[in-house]
Structure 1
Amino acid sequence: MDTVAEIYDLRGLNCPLPVLKAKKRLAGMRAGGQLWLETTDPLAVIDIPAFCSEDGHRLVETETVTGGHRFLIERG
């Protein structure tokens, strides 16, 4: 089954808002669903992987993009 991951734009938000908003959004998704997070917070490269590890989600991919980062997360 091919699924298209939604994009959640968290650009312009600073710690801890990207993690808090991602946590709420992922809670409403079914297990195995994927979500791209787009961030500009420089701490997201530390916070998002830690959040995934602590909450049982899988960090599928991380990309550096102009002005920030993108993270593909699969809900655990």
Structure 2
Amino acid sequence: MADRTLDASGLQCPMPLLKTKLELNAMVAGEELEVVATDSGSARDIPAFIELSRHSLVSSSEGGGKYRFVIKCGG
């Protein structure tokens, strides 16, 4: 289970990504963040951001119009 959850449901691009970045900046290395979003752009934007960051994508899934990501905060 993630240490924190960010519910970005109903937010449109680029807000889910921006809120994810802000939340990760407030976390310490090793903590996990679960992000839930409904914007389809999140399926592309969040993994692309993680690829370029110090963080790692633990899991991602899609179902019922929601996109879920679990991100491990990097050091």
User: TM above 0.5, one fold?
Assistant: yes
- Indicate the SS of the match to 1:62: strand
Q: Deviations over 1:6-63 (max 9, x none)?
A: 2210000111111110100110100111000000000111100011111221000001
In the alignment, which of 6, 9, 13 is matched to residue 8 of structure 1? Answer: 6
TM-score (norm 1): 0.90
Alignment partner, residue 68 of structure 2 = 70
- Name the % identity: 41
Q: Distance in 2 between matches of 1:72 and 1:16?
A: 18
Q: Give the count of matched residue pairs.
A: 73
Alignment partner, residue 26 of structure 1 = 24
In the alignment, which of 59, 62, 68 is matched to residue 61 of structure 1? Answer: 59
The runs of 4+ residues in structure 1 deviating greater than 2 Å are none
What amino acid maps onto 2:44 in structure 1? I
Give unmatched runs, 5+ long, in structure 1.
none
In the alignment, which of 42, 45, 70 is matched to residue 43 of structure 2? Answer: 45
